[in-house]
Copies of this chain bind each other. A is one copy, B any other.
Amino acid sequence: MAGQPKTELRKEQILRAAERIFARKGFHDATISDVSREARVSDATIYEYFSSKEELLFSIPGQTTRRHREETETILEFLPRAADRIHCIIKRYFWFYDQNPDHASVSMLILKQNRKFIEMPAYQDVKEMSRLVLRVIEEGVAKGEFRKNIDPYLVRASILGTIEHLVIRKILLGKPDKLEELADPLADLILQGVLARDTEKVLNVRLTLDSPDKAVKETVSVSTSSRNQG
């Protein structure tokens, strides 16, 4: 808990102000003065900490994104099954964006489509997170949990794309109120298309046994959709 050097606090203060302002007004419509006013420092002070408005923008994700990734990685270690991991990743994404709406706006509306940002070091964390998702999928396939014939890249695109779409929708249209509640149904939907199931191959199983006195004809119906079921 060693107090951060005062200068780090200042930096953080500016960063959070910038996040709020950029989230509210967009990058180009926000001025350095807007940010400095929000941060209660002078314009010039911002330049003591960041070399340009753009660098300020690119510094916003910083720790937040890294922490999100690291904590997610930590949790995943406790989840042996790929399906649970996917579920966890989705849940945490929604939770993360619910908790950090300004970060969500900056990430989704400003940074995601910024050609320069994807060349910045800060983008690495986003990339890492994306790789993590891919790895989980590939491991799921390798372990036989997921179907062999899926394209892991496509599955990842599907997971991340859906999340992004919903987050942007929430930012722009304000609904739904809680993204997190979409985590279960989304995980179900995705896993439905991905899980390898014996079942998948077993249809209308009709078993006839040679037991002469007893002819057995069974059709067992079991609901399979929920990933929560054993």
Seen from chain A, the residues whose Cβ lies within 8 Å of a Cβ on chain B are 26, 28, 83, 87, 108-110, 112-113, 115, 118, 147, 149-151, 154-155, 157-158, 160-166, 168-169, 172-173, 182, 185-195, 197-205, 207, 209, 211, 214, 216, 218-229
A115–B182 Cα distance when bound, in Å, is: 24
Residues from chain B with Cβ under 8 Å of A214 in the complex: 211
Q: Count this chain's copies in the assembly.
A: 4
Residues from chain B with Cβ under 8 Å of A201 in the complex: 203, 219-224, 229
Picked from B108, B118, B149, B160, the residue with its CB within 8 Å of the CB of A113 is B108
Residues from chain B with Cβ under 8 Å of A151 in the complex: 185, 189
Picked from B147, B165, B204, the residue with its CB within 8 Å of the CB of A199 is B204
Q: A113-B168, A201-B203 are in contact. Are A192 and B227 (CB under 8 A)?
A: yes
Considering residues A155, A197, A201, which has the most beta carbons from chain B within 10 angstroms of its beta carbon?
Answer: A201
Considering residues A149, A163, A189, A218, which has the most beta carbons from chain B within 10 angstroms of its beta carbon?
Answer: A189
Residue pair B157, A158 in contact (C-beta under 8 Å): no
Residues from chain B with Cβ under 8 Å of A223 in the complex: 201
Considering residues A157, A169, A192, A204, which has the most beta carbons from chain B within 10 angstroms of its beta carbon?
Answer: A192
Picked from B194, B209, B221, the residue with its CB within 8 Å of the CB of A192 is B194
A111: shortest Cβ distance to chain B, in Å?
Answer: 10
